[in-house]
Structure 1
Amino acid sequence: MTSVTNRPGFFQSRLGGFPRPFWVLFAGTLINRVGTMVEPFMGIYLTQARGMSLTAAGMVMAAFGAGSLLSQPFAGWLADRLGRRITLSGGMVATAATMLTLGYVTSVPGIVAAMFVLGVVVDAYRPASQALVADLVPPADRPRAFGLLFWAVNLGFSIAMVAGGWLAQSGFTVLFWADAVTCLIFGALVWRAVPETRPARAEKGTGGFRDVLRDRLMVAFVLINLAYTMVYLQAYTTLPLAMSAKGLPTSAYGVAMAVNGLLIVVVQPLTNAWLSRHDPSVVLAAGLAVVGAGFALTALVSSAAWLALSVAVWTLGEVLTAGVSGAIVAALAPAHLRGRYSGLYGLSWSAGGLLAPLAGTRLVAASPSLAWLLIGGLAVVAAAGQLVLAPAVRRRSVNP
């Protein structure tokens, strides 16, 4: 039987060793994600509350995607140039203002403009947040730290989905206010309780995005992540369409995605400390391969139970990837370019968000079963690529 004296070590291994500013960042991230109620319901808002056609709504969402392509590199540059704290807090204030504008503007040009700005600012905090973790947390603890932030994002988003669906019944305006207020709280917490960690001028040296793009190891890692995002983001774009085409009700997709959130919230904290003790590249490669296997299983889905099983498989792979990508980016980046490196990494997610539905829908239209095998196979190829990069990543981690 485990003694009581062992329990502090159990919690210490998972939660201990982080400075206070990290926990402020963790709390702010959780609060911000709890308020993320607008994005999941944007399509419904545009078509129902604003009376847009599907074509017009698609144009508006495309404006958001265009803004998101600019967001990560620009925010990464700001994090290195102006500082992590002002970039994160400023991005939160800008997001709050844009949310409220979007909630009240009624003209189509105004909505398009607001959505473009929202695409630029809504995730501008990410490069600054990743740079802050890299600045504050020693390399050995970074996978655990990034894993905890991943958990906070998913827990907060799970709460937001339930609360947002309930609050939307009383009108969409309350969703915009909830999102804006939680953004302001996050920004205020960071501004008041997180010190600026940007390297001092004497330590920064020179450099810019050209230096990032000359780093062939980083560029290769970003391309591998782009391949992964084109697989993973099918879950939110092509998958619900494909399941509907198979005759499964929307409730089946909803239950399956609830399995995703539940597994992450329950399993990820239990495995985070153990996974952080292993080579990040190997853990990431294993996660990519499991994600690929889960999406490949979608080719066999014929019922809600099988759909939930396939989602459970790729969710376990997602749990493996949690935290390690951020730790690898932090290991590859010079201290004075951490914002820009994180921005380039974030760009792969923005690009994947645009490319995933374009590729996925065409593949499924051509051959539904073969499509999921190809999609899953792409993740396995990405896993193999990460294993090829693993020795170089280890050398860079030891000799930054």
Structure 2
Amino acid sequence: MRSGLGRTLVLLSGGALATAGWGAVFPFLYADIATARGLGAGVAAGTFTAFAVGSIVAAPAAGWLADRANPTLVAVLSRLALAAFTGLLVLVSSPAMIWAVAAGFGASLALAQPAIQVILLARTPIERRRDVFAWQFIAINLAAAAGAAIGGVLVDLSSQQAMRPVYAVAVLSALISALAVGLAGRGAHSGVLAGQGAAETVSYRSILAKRPVLWLLGVSLLITLACYAQYDAGLPAYILDATTVKPSLLGAAVAMNAILVAVLTGPVVAYTKRRSLTSLLAICALLWVGCWLIFGLPLIIGGFDGAFVMIGFAALSFGETMMAPILSPLAAALAPEGATGRTMAAVSGASTVATAIGPILSSALLGLHLPAVFIVMQVVFCLAAAASSLKLRRIMAVSRSRSEHPARMELELAG
């Protein structure tokens, strides 16, 4: 038990290390492409779309490999690929090469995620899944906070060469993450693959034929559009272009957000443990309505842009503490026997589709100098996500009575 717990902690921290690296880069990637390299908003938005497309293309293979191959090997090789593509991203300068490398970067992230999650699920009792994913979320956000803080100090948008120290941090973090995941995941594949004979007969088509899973994909897409699709692209671009906030303050705000998420996740998960997961997703989306309205206040009230941005990122953290520890256990609960990795990859893929759509929409609106419409769009996505979450709750309530595994469903519908 002690050894297993130690490996789980190393796996959580090691998996999060890569987040520290790209957390130092991503808040400034849009500005790096558009400003430091002088390629404009269209190329910058296209970079995030290419990243998302790479993730979408890799998602089916990621789920299949997590279910059928050695997930530890998959995660390690993916982290090594992530380091390589991060290093290339700072070196290339043409739009086509930037987009190609960004696609590889996205594919590397997509391949690692289900593999790490399957290892965690294999070592965690059903009743503790919320807890372990909450701890994973805490580790990721602490790493993101450290990355954003480092990025805010090192970032220099004067030229492409001046950005190299930030990317060097990301490369080193990915390499250390690969080593940590490899050490912590040794031997885990035998436990993951045990009892997976049913995986031979489960296809993505049969997974998506399940109505609750299909609705979960819709909720995942909408709730990502409501926040995370703009977190690394549209929101920083809006703040840097439509307000007087400087990159250093933006980095501090992102770091503060991540720290608050890490601090609040444990208490929030404990407090909401007997609440319906789908209801919590709806509450999360409604909280984000208020966040986007706060981010929009600089357009109405001048002179307090920095304060509104800091308050907005702080408020954003309350919704985040509910969302991330919910989607993965919910996907695992709805997964057909032997297809956990593929179901989680499908949910992750739906979120990635949103991250491909989001930058296109924000780039169009901000490029047309319509920041108010950008804010309204996010509010609409939040409201749609809340309504869809409540619809999923009703569908799952019906499915629970027909489910062949009612105990699994009850754990996710408590409250």
* Match status 1:33 vs 2:19: yes
**Partner Cα distance (2:373, 2:91) in 1:** 43
The corresponding residue for 1:221 is 216
**Partner Cα distance (1:373, 1:288) in 2:** 9
The corresponding residue for 1:88 is 75
| Structure 1 contact 217–392 (Cα < 8 Å) conserved | no
| Structure 1 contact 285–383 (Cα < 8 Å) conserved | yes
Q: 1:23 aligns with which of 6, 9, 13?
A: 9
SS at match of 1:172: helix
Alpha-carbon spacing, 1:162–1:296, altered in 2? closer, same or farther (3 Å): closer
The corresponding residue for 1:398 is 406
Offset at 1:28? 0.6
Offset at 1:154? 1.0
Query: Deviation per CA, 1:33-62, whole angstroms, max 9, x where unpaired?
Result: 222233333334445665544444444444
The corresponding residue for 2:164 is 173
* Match status 1:199 vs 2:199: no
**Partner Cα distance (1:49, 1:367) in 2:** 27
**Partner Cα distance (2:30, 2:234) in 1:** 15
The corresponding residue for 2:411 is none
Offset at 1:168? 4.2
**Partner Cα distance (1:276, 1:48) in 2:** 45
| Structure 1 contact 291–379 (Cα < 8 Å) conserved | no
| Structure 1 contact 296–372 (Cα < 8 Å) conserved | no
Q: 1:260 aligns with which of 251, 257, 261?
A: 257
**Partner Cα distance (1:362, 1:53) in 2:** 14
* Match status 1:382 vs 2:388: yes
The corresponding residue for 1:13 is none
Offset at 1:290? 2.1
* Match status 1:115 vs 2:129: no
| Structure 2 contact 148–254 (Cα < 8 Å) conserved | no
Q: 1:291 aligns with which of 288, 300, 316?
A: 288
The TM-score with structure 2 as length reference comes to 0.80
Offset at 1:199? 2.4
The corresponding residue for 1:12 is none
Query: Deviation per CA, 1:56-80, whole angstroms, max 9, x where unpaired?
Result: 4444444323212213222112212
Offset at 1:235? 4.3
The TM-score with structure 1 as length reference comes to 0.82
The corresponding residue for 1:331 is 333
| Structure 2 contact 137–262 (Cα < 8 Å) conserved | no
Q: 2:181 aligns with which of 178, 190, 206?
A: 190
SS at match of 1:276: coil
Aligned residues: 385
Name stretches of at least 5 consecutive residues in structure 1 with no aligned partner: 1-15
Q: 1:320 aligns with which of 310, 319, 322?
A: 322
Return the letter of the residue paired with 2:144.
F
Offset at 1:185? 2.3
**Partner Cα distance (1:163, 1:142) in 2:** 32
Of 301-310 and 311-320, the range deviating more from structure 2: 301-310
| Structure 1 contact 19–137 (Cα < 8 Å) conserved | no
**Partner Cα distance (1:108, 1:174) in 2:** 21
User: What is the root-mean-square deviation of aligned Cα atoms in Å?
Assistant: 3.3
Alpha-carbon spacing, 1:26–1:306, altered in 2? closer, same or farther (3 Å): same
Of 253-262 and 185-194, the range deviating more from structure 2: 253-262
**Partner Cα distance (2:17, 2:377) in 1:** 38
Offset at 1:139? 1.1
Offset at 1:175? 3.3
- Sequence identity percentage: 23
Offset at 1:348? 1.5
Alpha-carbon spacing, 1:392–1:323, altered in 2? closer, same or farther (3 Å): farther
Offset at 1:165? 3.3
**Partner Cα distance (1:59, 1:282) in 2:** 34
Name stretches of at least 5 consecutive residues in structure 2 with no aligned partner: 409-415
| Structure 2 contact 278–390 (Cα < 8 Å) conserved | no
The corresponding residue for 2:413 is none
Q: 1:159 aligns with which of 141, 146, 162?
A: 146
